Chains A and B, each alone.
Chain A
Amino acid sequence: QKEVEQNSGPLSVPEGAIASLNCTYSDRGSQSFFWYRQYSGKSPELIMSIYSNGDKEDGRFTAQLNKASQYVSLLIRDSQPSDSATYLCAVNPPGFQKLVFGTGTRLLVSP
C-alpha cells in the first residue's frame, strides 16, 4: 500500500462547478497534511495546510480532514479554467521531518 494515494485523474469539471479532490494516507499517526498545486512546467505551490479534523476554508478552497478514516480532501468552489493543474497531497509521517507526496490528481476545468 502506498503511503499517500490519489486518483491520477484527469478530473474534468465545468467552469463554476465544485471540484473535489481526494487523498488517503496509510500512517494513522500522521498529523500534518498539505495540498500543493502544480501547473505544467512549474514547481509545486502550497495552497492549503490542515492539522485538525474538520474543515479549513481559504477563499474558494476548503480542505477537509478525517483522521479516523485517514482521508483528506480539497474542495475548489466556483472552479475556473485557471485552476486547471495537478494537485498534490502531502503528508508528514510521524517521527520524520519530510513530506510524502501522492502522485497527484490532474484537474481540468472547461470553460
Chain B
Amino acid sequence: SAVISQKPSRDICQRGTSLTIQCQVDSQVTMMFWYRQQPGQSLTLIATANQGSEATYESGFVIDKFPISRPNLTFSTLTVSNMSPEDSSIYLCSARTGLLYEQYFGPGTRLTVT
C-alpha cells in the first residue's frame, strides 16, 4: 500500500481564479490518478498522470482547464483553472504502487468556488 497526502485539505476560492492541489506519496509509484467526487456521487476520473509523459485525460476534461504535472515518481499536482461554482467538488488523488491495478487514495481536497 501507500500513504498519500494532499494539500490543501480544503479551500474556498473566487470564480475566475486557479487552485493547485498537491499530492505526495510516501514511496515511488507507477501511476497517479486524479478524480472528482460531487457530494453523494461516485468517483469521476479526470486524468491519469505518468511520470515523464503527458497526462491522459478522460472525456469531458481538458488540459487547459485541469493541467497536471508529474515531475517525479512520488509527486503530482492538479490545477483547477478559471474556476466556476460548478468546479466545487472534492478532488482526490490516488496512486498505483505496482503491477497490480489496485489504487490507494489520498484524503481529498474539498474545493468551494464562490
Question: A98 on the interface (CB 8 Å rule)?
Answer: yes
Other-chain contact of B105, A32, A44, A103 (Cβ < 8 Å): A44
Q: How large is the interface on A (under 10, 10 to 19, 20 to 34, 35 or more residues)?
A: 10 to 19
A98–B102 CB distance below 8 A: no
A32–B101 CB distance below 8 A: yes
B42–A103 CB distance below 8 A: yes
What 0/1 pattern do residues 93 to 114 of B give for CB contact below 8 A with A?
0001000111111111000000
A101–B43 CB distance below 8 A: yes
B102–A46 CB distance below 8 A: yes
A44–B43 CB distance below 8 A: yes
A97–B48 CB distance below 8 A: yes
B100–A99 CB distance below 8 A: no
B100–A88 CB distance below 8 A: no
A43–B103 CB distance below 8 A: no
A-B contact count (CB 8 A): 44
Question: B83 on the interface (CB 8 Å rule)?
Answer: no
- Given A32-B101, A49-B102, verify A97-B96 contact (CB < 8 Å): yes
Other-chain contact of B43, A49, A88, A92 (Cβ < 8 Å): A88
B43–A98 CB distance below 8 A: no
Please give the distance in Å from B70's CB to the nearest CB on chain A.
Answer: 13
Other-chain contact of A46, B41, B48, B104 (Cβ < 8 Å): B104
In the bound assembly, the distance between CA atoms of A42 and B42 in angstroms comes to 13
| Interface set of B (CB-CB < 8 Å, partner A) | 1, 31, 33, 41-43, 45, 48, 92, 96, 100-108
A-B contact pairs, 22 of them (CB 8 A): A32-B100, A32-B102, A34-B101, A34-B102, A34-B103, A42-B107, A43-B105, A43-B107, A46-B103, A49-B100, A88-B42, A88-B43, A97-B48, A97-B101, A98-B33, A98-B45, A99-B45, A99-B101, A101-B42, A101-B43, A102-B42, A104-B42
A42-B107, A90-B103 provided; 12 other pairs, C-beta below 8 A? Answer: A32-B100, A34-B101, A34-B102, A34-B103, A43-B106, A44-B92, A44-B105, A46-B103, A49-B102, A97-B31, A99-B45, A101-B43
